[in-house]
A and B are shown apart, each in its own frame.
Chain A
Amino acid sequence: MTLPVLNGPPPKLIQTQYARLAVNVTTTVVLPLFTTLLSLTIQTRGGTRLIIHCEAALNTSFGVALDSISQALRLDGVFLQAMVSTLTPQIETAAMTLEEPLPPAVLAAGVHTVLFSFAKFAASPAVVNCFAGTLPQGFSANLLVHEVVSP
């Protein structure tokens, strides 16, 4: 058998870690408190960065208020960035992709934890739901982390 020549560029994707919500998660907590949607750990080599993709489809149990749901990413407990969903009974999806840390900074070698969480902006009777366990047709939460080497 003739094998092809391995002449491509060196791979820069070191590894991928992924977490998918498979149970129902609800919350009534209000910022600055938060409830964990997903968490994953990744053991990195020195000098790399993380490309983080996250998305969540959420709703609330009742009512439409002029309020919002914050969905935040943390790395080793440190707040990175957050996105928003409307507080409504209709399911709403929010997603973002970011690189952490921004160049020229790089991550130190070792075990790191990426935390994807959510909370209400203000106190209200509404309960925020992600029924990914019982209603996966409409609800979801995913967290995908690539460790990459990049100039």
Chain B
Amino acid sequence: MTFPSGPIVTDQFPKLVQTRSARLAVDLTSTATFPVFSLILSVPITTREGTRLQVYASIDCNCFVLPIPIIFRVLLDGTPLQNWTSNVSIVINESSRMVLEEPVVGAVGAGAHTVDFEWSRFSAGSVPTCSPVTFPDFHNANLVVQEVVSP
């Protein structure tokens, strides 16, 4: 195999255009029961033409009363992108994380967008909580959104 000489063609490498993030700074509980979701974090971002969004959502939380599955999801402009579920215990805390790029093919389109991170308990009778103020050694919720130019 031979390689052409010359400068590095930077257009052929992914580029980070900007990063936006949000971090949960208060204790949060939810009584939203599936299929109803409640908001954990939201990130607004204004994008240029021809870019995509890489989304990193992470949370550590637990439940009051009963261990139940908690459904998490990430939305772009109100449209759900992906759901994922963790079985969240009472005392033992659970870590859950999702990484995705949106859209998989094409571009997200220039303009203002909003990425939301939401959760919903699978059944009533227990209350999920993410308490980074009360339990800083265990609980966190983060939403990091990166606008990228990617082939």
19 chain-A/chain-B pairs, Cβ below 8 angstroms: A3-B9, A5-B11, A6-B10, A9-B17, A9-B48, A51-B19, A51-B21, A66-B91, A68-B91, A81-B23, A81-B136, A82-B138, A82-B140, A95-B95, A96-B140, A96-B142, A98-B58, A99-B144, A150-B20
Q: How many residues of A are in contact with the other chain, CB < 8 A?
A: 44
Residues of chain A contacted by B6 (CB below 8 angstroms) = 1, 3
- A125, B65: Cα distance in complex, Å: 27
Residues of chain B contacted by A83 (CB below 8 angstroms) = 58, 60, 95, 138, 140
- Given that A12-B16, A68-B138, A72-B137 are known contacts, is A94 also in contact with B11, CB under 8 Å in the complex? no
Contact pattern, A 122-151, Cβ under 8 Å of B = 1, otherwise 0: 000000000000000000000000101011
From the candidates A9, A31, A82, name the one contacting B149 in the complex (CB within 8 A). A9
- A62, B4: Cα distance in complex, Å: 57
Residue pair B10, A11 in contact (C-beta under 8 Å): yes
Residues of chain A contacted by B5 (CB below 8 angstroms) = 1
Residues of chain A contacted by B18 (CB below 8 angstroms) = 12, 150-151
Least distance between B23 CB and chain A CB atoms (Å): 6
Residue pair B9, A4 in contact (C-beta under 8 Å): yes
Q: In chain A between 88 and 133, which residues have their CB closer than 8 angstroms to a CB of chain B?
A: 92-99, 102-103, 121
Q: In chain B between 69 and 89, which residues have their CB closer than 8 angstroms to a CB of chain A?
A: 89
Residue pair B144, A97 in contact (C-beta under 8 Å): yes
Q: What's the count of A-B pairs with C-beta under 8 Å?
A: 124
Least distance between A67 CB and chain B CB atoms (Å): 7
Interface flag for A28 (CB, 8 Å): no
Residue pair A84, B138 in contact (C-beta under 8 Å): yes
- A83, B137: Cα distance in complex, Å: 7
Residue pair A121, B15 in contact (C-beta under 8 Å): no
Contact pattern, B 118-151, Cβ under 8 Å of A = 1, otherwise 0: 0000000000000010001111101010100100
- A13, B148: Cα distance in complex, Å: 10
15 further A-B pairs in the complex, CB-CB below 8 A; given A12-B17, A86-B92: A3-B9, A8-B149, A10-B15, A11-B15, A51-B146, A66-B92, A83-B140, A86-B94, A94-B60, A97-B56, A99-B23, A99-B144, A121-B138, A146-B16, A148-B19
Residue pair B97, A81 in contact (C-beta under 8 Å): no
- A4, B4: Cα distance in complex, Å: 13
- A7, B5: Cα distance in complex, Å: 20
